[in-house]
Structure 1
Amino acid sequence: MLSLFSSAKATACPYCYAELNVGKVAFRCSGRGAPGRTPCKPVPDRKREEVFSDGTPVLPAISEPGQPEGQRKDLLGKSTVTCGDCGGESGIRMCPSCHSILPRGIDNNSPLFGLIGVRNSGKTVLLSVLHRELVQSVARRFDAAIDTPGGSSGLARDLAMFEKDMAREGGSLPPQTAASGTVKKTPAVYEWKYSRKGKTASTIFSFYDTAGEDVSRQETAMMQQYLGQASGVILLLDPFAFPENRERAEQLGAAAGDADTPESALDGITYVLQTAHNVKSNKKIKVPLAVVVSKIDAFFDQIPASHPLRQPSSSSSAFDDAESRTIHDHVMALVANWGGDGLLRKLEHEYDNFRLFGVSALGAEPDYRSGSVSSRGLLPHRVADPLLWLMADRGFIPKSEG
């Protein structure tokens, strides 16, 4: 694999977000014993049960020789090891912390992206539509192979199901994400591959769907380990939560009630990132932050028809940074008009690298009261732009200046 980034000693597991050195990983038995020896059989994995509450029987982890039952330690290696129980060789690499099977393309530079936001901002809807956009239109645009290396399980399975439910006639919106507290959930992990100068370039990225209440308060935000490991963060804001839009929200049945404000979500994220990266009080956070206003189609009456924000995403195989900056400026003006000037000041003072976006996962307003999708179906608008900006910022995809 061609690594596009500078070397690093460790990354984070894309499933549990614990620190991971891909040169020292655990292994799962292949189930193919050496000649004359009994192959290992699937059993519940204790670490999978502890981390993800997943008791599904799987082939056992390969442990160090001479370890007593119940006190076994994983045998760590780089590419292959031999199972001491059945004698079979295995190259099935897994995370030592959670025993999730690692994608083949993972290296110590693979990015992790977190998608978070206030309640009612449409995180699950956006992720569900983004899942489809990644494996279809984005893959075609960049001539890439983008898939879920772990198969359709966990969040990736749920997102595909939610997207299917929304796309059918009379489709319905997915339920609100429940607060996770200290319980980890399996994220959606993607592998992006494409050819560069005759070689295969590859990177792994991971998304985690977090309830708004998990990040809007410092004490719960600190439980979200993935935020401290994130290479970039996407903060999704509900436009109806801004002061000047609340009356409109009431009329549409989209009122957030007692949901936390955009500023409280930003405060929670800021606290975690400052703590995780030991940011001094006189310094700004270096982790790039994509600030995304969802449901932007509901405010197209405030945006000129010729403005790039009203137009479809580019089909070019490069990220148009000049266009993105134009959209950033207009979304900033909208947020200020909606009473979000305090949020903008916090972004300017606390973050070294941030960009504002306007997206719509549905493309047409749903019936907020019944939770049903518009009869026009799914018409996603610029949902991949925040992720593509983060990828371009890392140098993984090309960037153009318009």
Structure 2
Amino acid sequence: MAFFQRKVPCPYCYNEIAPTALAVRCSGRAAPGKARCTEAPDSARIQFFSDGTPVLPVIVGPDRKQVLSRSEATCPDCGAVSAIRVCPDCHSRMPRSFDADSPLFGLVGVRGSGKTVMLAVLQKELYSTIARRFDASIDSPGGKTGLAGELEAFLRGMEDSSNGMLPAQTAAHTSGMTIPAVFEWRFAKKSLGGKLTRDASTLFSFYDSAGEDLATEDRALGQHYLAATSGVILLLDPFGFPGNRERALGSGVNPESLTTSPETVLRALTTVLQTAEKTKKNKKIKQPVAVVVSKIDAFFDDIPDDHPMRRPSSKLRYFDDTESLTIHDHVAAMIEQWGGDGLLRMLDSNYEKYRLFGASALGAEPSYQNLKVNARGVLPHRVGEPLLWLMADRGFLPKEG
């Protein structure tokens, strides 16, 4: 039937699947007189994520092929009726809110740009500050497995009051992929006038790739998840620009983290997105890209005290587009001053929609030599703004300005 044809990427494996035709995992609640199905490692989970955790089987039909359903199915072995929907490919459990409008976001950047630190802090901000700001329920439907669990452990290490340490560099995956961090956002969507309209929910996921995976166009093209994204957050290390190199070395930044320029990563990302969208000659990429200068706290002395970029994120329940554009213009001027005018031209020439941001996951410079967090602790600054811009651009969050 026609409604089975619309496919969207699975938030876990990024393969395209139909939300109305999902596999179903046995619930284990056997019918009277029948033996309960037993748990065993799932070959699909092993193949995709190297995850051998024992689970109940996926329901199959008389032909031993997976039963695909919009809602539920009956296990032929134990008679259990189950509504536990899973991806037909990777067998990850699909939350009830999974539908054709569940966005996938990629967070990419060069080695040393702070992607993992940013994701770890963003995850906490989603559960706390951002959830309170929008009066939303934000949760990880897959629990603290895979990347979500790793990020939580990294954050605990950074917040250790006696010995806060930064996580090691993300290694390139040689077998299987890490289970992405998947989030479910539910809230009562209101108009800007404050009138209650309707309950809204969405599902979105992040994947953390190694910086080396974006160092060349060939390696970037091998990043399966980037071809499935609805929006990308590109993290730029300000120390990677020519005008800041000496400052970086003087601060103890590892020279190896400065070998791949911001322009190189943007060029690789552009190739991937053009290939995925089949962008025609002389046309621009439609997918929105949030370009974030990380570690912006290291450059606060170059930003006026009363500038919006120095202020914390708004507590209002909408995305302030006017403020965001003011920050965009200032970040563009800083990048140009640092010798990154080529990057700005590349963005203008290849993207229909992009926005520049300045953010800091730590809020104060760490010791780059021994990877220790500043004694002031973890003080995130505007880390949620790029994601909120992407969500507002999709119409999920209200926008003003």
Structure-2 residue corresponding to 1:65:
62
Query: Matched residue of 1:151: which SS?
Result: coil
Does the aligned pair in 1 maintain the 2:50–2:175 contact within 8 Å?
A: no
1:259 shift after superposition: 2.9
Does the aligned pair in 1 maintain the 2:41–2:52 contact within 8 Å?
A: yes
Does the aligned pair in 1 maintain the 2:59–2:66 contact within 8 Å?
A: yes
Letter in 2 for 1:96: P
Structure-2 residue corresponding to 1:254:
253
Does the aligned pair in 2 maintain the 1:8–1:109 contact within 8 Å?
A: no
Structure-1 residue corresponding to 2:122:
130
1:301-340 correspondence runs (5 A):
301-340=301-340
Q: Distance in 2 between matches of 1:183 and 1:47?
A: 11
1:143-182 correspondence runs (5 A):
143-169=135-161, 170-180=163-173
Any idea what the Cα deviations from partners look like across 1:262-315, whole Å, max 9, x if unmatched? 111111111111001100121000000000000000011111111111111111
Q: Distance in 2 between matches of 1:8 and 1:396?
A: 24
| Aligned-pair Cα RMSD in Å | 1.3
Aligned length: 390
Structure-1 residue corresponding to 2:28:
31
1:376-395 correspondence runs (5 A):
376-395=376-395
TM (norm. structure 1) is 0.95
1:20 shift after superposition: 1.5
1:87 shift after superposition: 0.9
Change in 2 beyond 3 A, CA 1:306/1:194: same
Of residues 120, 129, 132, the one that matches 2:112 is 120
Of residues 158, 168, 179, the one that matches 1:186 is 179
Change in 2 beyond 3 A, CA 1:181/1:269: farther
Query: Matched residue of 1:208: which SS?
Result: strand
Structure-2 residue corresponding to 1:106:
98
Q: Distance in 2 between matches of 1:29 and 1:223?
A: 34
Structure-1 residue corresponding to 2:342:
342
Structure-1 residue corresponding to 2:75:
83
Q: Distance in 1 between matches of 2:359 and 2:263?
A: 19
28-37 vs 219-228, which moves further = 219-228
Does the aligned pair in 1 maintain the 2:107–2:206 contact within 8 Å?
A: yes
Structure-2 residue corresponding to 1:3:
none
Query: Matched residue of 2:324: which SS?
Result: helix
Letter in 1 for 2:172: A
Change in 2 beyond 3 A, CA 1:278/1:182: farther
Any idea what the Cα deviations from partners look like across 1:301-349, whole Å, max 9, x if unmatched? 1111111111111110000000000000000000011111110000000
Letter in 1 for 2:391: M
1:216 shift after superposition: 2.3
Does the aligned pair in 1 maintain the 2:5–2:18 contact within 8 Å?
A: no
Does the aligned pair in 1 maintain the 2:220–2:272 contact within 8 Å?
A: yes
Q: Distance in 1 between matches of 2:319 and 2:68?
A: 40
Q: Distance in 2 between matches of 1:75 and 1:215?
A: 38
1:10 shift after superposition: 2.2
Change in 2 beyond 3 A, CA 1:183/1:281: farther
Does the aligned pair in 2 maintain the 1:234–1:291 contact within 8 Å?
A: yes
Query: Matched residue of 1:86: which SS?
Result: coil
Does the aligned pair in 2 maintain the 1:181–1:214 contact within 8 Å?
A: no
Q: Distance in 2 between matches of 1:279 and 1:226?
A: 18
Q: Report percent identity of matched pairs.
A: 57
1:198 shift after superposition: 6.1
Structure 2 residue ranges without an equivalent (≥5): 190-195
Structure 1 residue ranges without an equivalent (≥5): 1-6, 68-72
